[in-house]
């Protein structure tokens, strides 16, 4: 029987979902040094700063991430005399509205240190690192994020940073949260540091909470307390600041480095109250040592089992298959018909060709054999 079309049954169609992961290493040299900041783009609106993997004026440059800073209107740093006060509040509210949502009264919730929105400490001042979709793909893989952050108390840009904190989403694999309108997120913890850097000792197998990581949104939220001593309500051991020549009002705040000049330094208090958002982004960038994570690409597939049974597809509708009403591939009447399968077409119920699959080599088909061709559509 010359069969050209064959209906697919329900059991011939299977849907699968596969997750592909890619390691993304971002070094501090790319973020803050390799191209003398030619890969850093600031904007006239001054609301955030963009980082590229190459000078951003080049057609080869790829957008990596954006950095910005904000605080809640209830923050102690919110003041009419603070630099870009309105913009910093707007940044915080925008991020909180998207990532945390609203409470029962319609008010925007604040970021919560442990993800328990009904109680617990709130993150009122925070850095926001928004990764480009180019590198996060569909989401950041849970449990793979790591950021090494320098926390020297003094120094200038370019000086060696020996005191470091390692920040990871150690709870991400099994302890992620789902109470965000932006999807799943995990708590970021300081999981490694030199002895005496942190004010609190890290519990066994855990760490000190220092931010949040939103996996599908591709946004990391880092508390400003990472750069402030316990003396001023931060996470760092106040002993690090002993002998500091900072004035009393600033004592307990790390000297942050900003701009392109080697001598520019200012405290985290200055970052929040006096610095522009671009200057605050510079300060964080210059303390990022390494950052790594795995991205996730979700591949949805439909698999069609195209079955050629013994009596199927043994003839061809190609006009060259016959000559003078005789099948070319048969020598005598008693020979079995032969065809060569080279292509599989998937059609709609209206006989519209929707997809074509090509075989790497022709398959010889006779009534003596059967084939099952596995056709996969990825999207």
* pLDDT tens per residue, range 191-235: 877 777 887 766 655 688 999 999 999 999 999 988 887 777 788
**Residue 244 reports pLDDT greater than 60:** no
- Tell me what percent of the residues of the chain surpass a pLDDT of 90: 54
Range of 318-322, 323-327, 344-348 with top mean pLDDT:
344-348
More confident site: 24 or 205? 24
Q: Which residue has the tokens 């949502």?
A: 101
Q: What is the pTM of this model?
A: 0.80
Give 44-52 contacts, CB < 8 A, sequence gap 24+. 46/84, 46/87, 46/276, 46/277, 46/278, 47/87, 47/90, 47/91, 47/277, 48/91, 48/130, 48/277, 48/281, 49/277, 49/278, 49/281, 49/282, 49/285, 51/285
Weakest-pLDDT range from 47-56, 87-96, 149-158: 149-158
Q: How confident is the model at residue 265 (pLDDT cuts 50, 70, 90)?
A: very low
- 24 - beta bridge partners? 293
Other beta carbons within 10 Å of 233: 12
Closest of 174, 96, 172, 98 to residue 139, by C-alpha: 172
pLDDT band at 142 (very low <50, low <70, confident <90, very high): very high
Interatomic CA distance for residues 157 and 246, integer angstroms: 18
Give me the mean pLDDT over the 256-280 stretch. Answer: 68
Distance separating alpha carbons of residues 152 and 163, to the nearest angstrom: 6
Angle, vertex CA 210, rays to CA 73 and CA 41, nearest 5 = 70
Average pLDDT over the chain, rounded to whole?
Answer: 85
Structure tokens at 171: 């709870």
Q: For residue 227, give both structure tokens.
A: 């750069």
Burial of 101 (0-12, 13-18, 19+ CB in 10 A): middle
Q: Give the separation between CA 215 and CA 115, rounded to whole angstroms.
A: 14
Give the whole-angstrom CA distance, residue 239 versus residue 194: 13
- Distance separating alpha carbons of residues 94 and 289, to the nearest angstrom: 28
Is the confidence at residue 364, as pLDDT, over 70?
Answer: yes
DSSP 49-88: EEEESS-TTSTT--EEEEEEEEE-TTSTT--TTSTTHHHH
What pLDDT is stored for residue 250 in this prediction? 40
């Amino acid at each position: 029987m010359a069969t050209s079309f064959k209906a697919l049954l329900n059991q011939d169609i299977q849907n699968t979902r596969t997750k592909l992961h890619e390691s993304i290493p971002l070094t501090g040299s790319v973020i803050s040094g390799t191209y003398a900041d030619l890969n850093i783009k600031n904007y006239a609106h001054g609301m955030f700063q963009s980082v590229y993997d190459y000078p951003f004026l080049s057609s080869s440059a790829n957008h990596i991430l954006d950095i910005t800073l904000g605080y809640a209107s209830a923050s102690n740093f919110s003041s009419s005399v603070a630099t870009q006060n309105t913009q910093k509040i707007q940044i915080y509210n925008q991020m909180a509205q998207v990532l945390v949502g609203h409470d029962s009264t319609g008010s925007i919730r604040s970021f919560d240190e442990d993800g328990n929105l009904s109680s617990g400490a709130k993150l009122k001042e925070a850095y926001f690192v928004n990764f480009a979709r180019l590198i996060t793909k569909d989401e950041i893989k849970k449990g793979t994020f790591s950021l090494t952050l320098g926390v020297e108390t003094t120094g200038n840009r370019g000086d060696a940073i020996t005191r470091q904190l390692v920040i990871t989403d150690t709870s991400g694999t099994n302890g992620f949260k789902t109470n965000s309108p932006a999807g799943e997120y995990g708590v970021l913890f300081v999981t490694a540091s030199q002895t005496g850097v942190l004010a609190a000792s890290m519990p066994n197998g855990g760490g000190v909470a220092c931010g949040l990581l939103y996996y599908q949104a591709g946004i990391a939220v880092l508390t400003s307390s990472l750069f402030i001593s316990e003396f001023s309500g931060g996470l760092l051991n106040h002993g690090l600041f002993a002998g500091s020549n900072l004035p009393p009002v600033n004592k307990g705040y790390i000297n942050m480095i900003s701009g392109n000049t080697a001598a520019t330094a200012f405290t985290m208090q200055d970052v929040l109250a006096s610095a522009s958002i671009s200057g605050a982004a510079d300060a964080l960038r210059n303390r990022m040592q390494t950052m790594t994570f795995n991205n996730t690409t979700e591949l949805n597939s439909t698999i069609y089992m195209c079955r050629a049974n013994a009596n199927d597809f043994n003839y061809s509708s190609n006009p060259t298959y016959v000559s003078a009403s005789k099948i070319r591939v048969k020598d005598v009447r008693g020979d079995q018909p032969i065809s060569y399968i080279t292509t599989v077409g998937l059609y709609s119920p209206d006989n519209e060709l929707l997809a074509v699959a090509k075989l790497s080599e022709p398959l010889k088909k006779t009534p003596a054999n059967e084939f099952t061709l596995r056709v996969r559509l990825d999207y």
